[in-house]
Amino acid sequence: MKNFFKFEERGTTSRRETGAGITTFLTMCYIIFVNPGILAAAGVPFAAATTATAVGAAVVSILMGLSTNRPLALASGMGFNAVLAFSVIGFQQARVPWQVGMAVVFVEGLIILALVLTGLRRAVMNSIPLNLKRAIGAGIGLFIAVLGLNDGGIVRPAPLTLVEIGDLGKPHVWVALIGLLVIVILSAMRWKSAIMIGLGAATAAALVLGLVRWPETIAAPLDFSTFFAPFQTVGGKPALFQILTPSLIAAIFSLMLIDFFDTMGSVVAVGEQAGFLDKNGQVPEIKRILVVDSLGAVTGGLFGSSSITTYVESAAGVAEGGRTGLMPIVAGLCFAAAAFFTPVIKMIGGGIVIPAAEQYGLLAAGGFTVPEGGHTVTPITAGALIFVGFLMMKAVREIEWDRFDEAFPSFLIIIAIPLTASISHGIGLGFILYVLIKLLRGRLREVHPLMFAVAAAFVLFYALEAM
């Protein structure tokens, strides 16, 4: 194992990689509970979606570790799942059966895989300027930090200013702050397992404050009824044969762009953090990574869990010292275990429901429309997300801020990713402005031909969204 994973060459140990894998899982495990809820709104059976989410993440994460030896874990992608559930399938199957929606994901994954095998996906990634790659990493870091601040209740929505300080008197906010402070203090003392210990401290605080309880049962049955969804018969014929309609073909294209560039952003961001990008900002042997990621989309559609993609939360494990494929293998094994022990995992990574008015502050007080009932926050993992966001912001210093044609598109990517809550939207806006500014300045020779094609694809993507 030592030679296979190249521990000495990468300055790590099996113990460190194991801890990093557990930390990565703890920052990702919320997907086991969030993804089924989103898919259930579109008619997917909740219990089956839970099994598919956990098992799918386990299979593809382990495959990534074994085939690439890189610290990249995978799970069903946030954002993608919402588009699939509410735009493609439609709320409560108002448009198409959920099996047909999974068939769309399955085919989209096959197309992405074909692009990888032909070398086009790698060519597109290599055509992106180094400044924009650095901006993507920083933008994702800022996005992660904002998610952590919101999930911990440290900030909350507000009119006009968009956000305001949360109610610091609430116990869930203190759980988030305790976790963050422990991580910061231990990191200042150069402890390698600071994030993992911080997660443990936040969990203990949540138990003491009564926000979570140790579950009465630790096991839950598995449900495989969503597996092979594209080949299930719906309306008298297999779901896979029902995707050849103009709207679903357009959906395949839109989902392909989201999948394509979410992965690109995550791989570049984690690669920058882990130090395996070369001097040109390119990922060595990236084809293997992209093949596994593409198989993740295929697997997600096949299992019925939405597209499985590389997770930027892998940076949490990298921050713990993860540098090899053992990290995602450990995370994958944790996902496999979570398929059986979801009550315990839910206590750590699952949400805590608080009254909506508490989270929405001035919005509720000012008479603005807020969600009814309770609002779900995840304070136990919030501190880890905030700290990982901080670590990923270091890429900002490498951007050439004195070059307007490089700096402004980079700046737009950095702010658009968190403000649109979408990696692909932030990348798309930055790419379009990059090509436009180069055109206006007469520097088209500096633009790789594939960047023109990518920018045009994003223009078409936004046009389809506007229809």
Domain positions in the chain: 2-398
pLDDT at position 226 is 97
Residue whose pair of structure tokens reads 């960047």 in the numeric block: 451
CA atoms within 13 A on the CB side of 391: 27
Measured CA to CA, the distance from residue 322 to residue 28 in angstroms comes to 15
pLDDT values of the chain reduced to their tens digit, one per residue, 467 residues = 888 999 999 999 999 999 999 999 988 887 887 788 778 878 898 889 989 999 999 999 999 999 999 999 999 987 688 778 877 887 444 478 999 999 999 999 999 999 999 998 888 878 888 899 888 878 878 887 888 898 888 998 887 778 889 889 899 999 999 999 999 999 899 886 788 788 889 989 999 998 888 877 888 889 999 999 999 999 889 999 999 887 788 788 778 877 887 888 889 889 888 888 887 778 888 899 999 999 999 999 999 999 999 998 899 899 889 999 999 999 999 999 999 887 776 676 656 777 777 777 766 666 666 666 666 777 888 888 888 788 878 778 889 999 999 999 999 999 998 898 777 788 889 999 999 999 999 998 999 998 998 899 889 888 877 77
- DSSP class of residue 72 equals -
Burial of residue 81 (CB within 10 Å: 0-12, 13-18, 19+) is buried
Residue whose pair of structure tokens reads 């398929």 in the numeric block: 339
CA atoms within 13 A on the CB side of 342: 23
Burial of residue 466 (CB within 10 Å: 0-12, 13-18, 19+) is exposed
Pairing outcome for strands 237-238 and 233-234: antiparallel
Query: Six-digit token pair at 53?
Result: 């989410």
DSSP letter string, 377-411: E-HHHHHHHHHHHHHHGGGGGGS-TT-HHHHHHHH
Pairing outcome for strands 352-355 and 308-310: unpaired
Determine which helix (DSSP H) or strand (DSSP E) holds 307, and give its type and residue range.
Answer: none
Q: Considering only CA atoms, which of 66, 95, 32 is closest in space to residue 313?
A: 32
| Beta strand extents in 303-405 (DSSP E only) | 308-310, 352-355, 374-377
Measured CA to CA, the distance from residue 60 to residue 11 in angstroms comes to 25
Q: Which amino acid is at 252?
A: I
Distances 404 to 99, 270, 440, 443 between C-alpha atoms, Å: 47, 26, 12, 12
Residues 381 and 151 sit within 8 Å (Cβ to Cβ): yes
Cα 224 from chain centroid? 24
pLDDT at position 93 is 46
Sequence-distant (≥ 6) Cβ neighbours of residue 32 within 8 angstroms? 50, 53, 54, 57, 335, 338, 342, 345, 346, 349
pLDDT at position 346 is 64
Measured CA to CA, the distance from residue 405 to residue 129 in angstroms comes to 11
Residues 126 and 82 sit within 8 Å (Cβ to Cβ): no
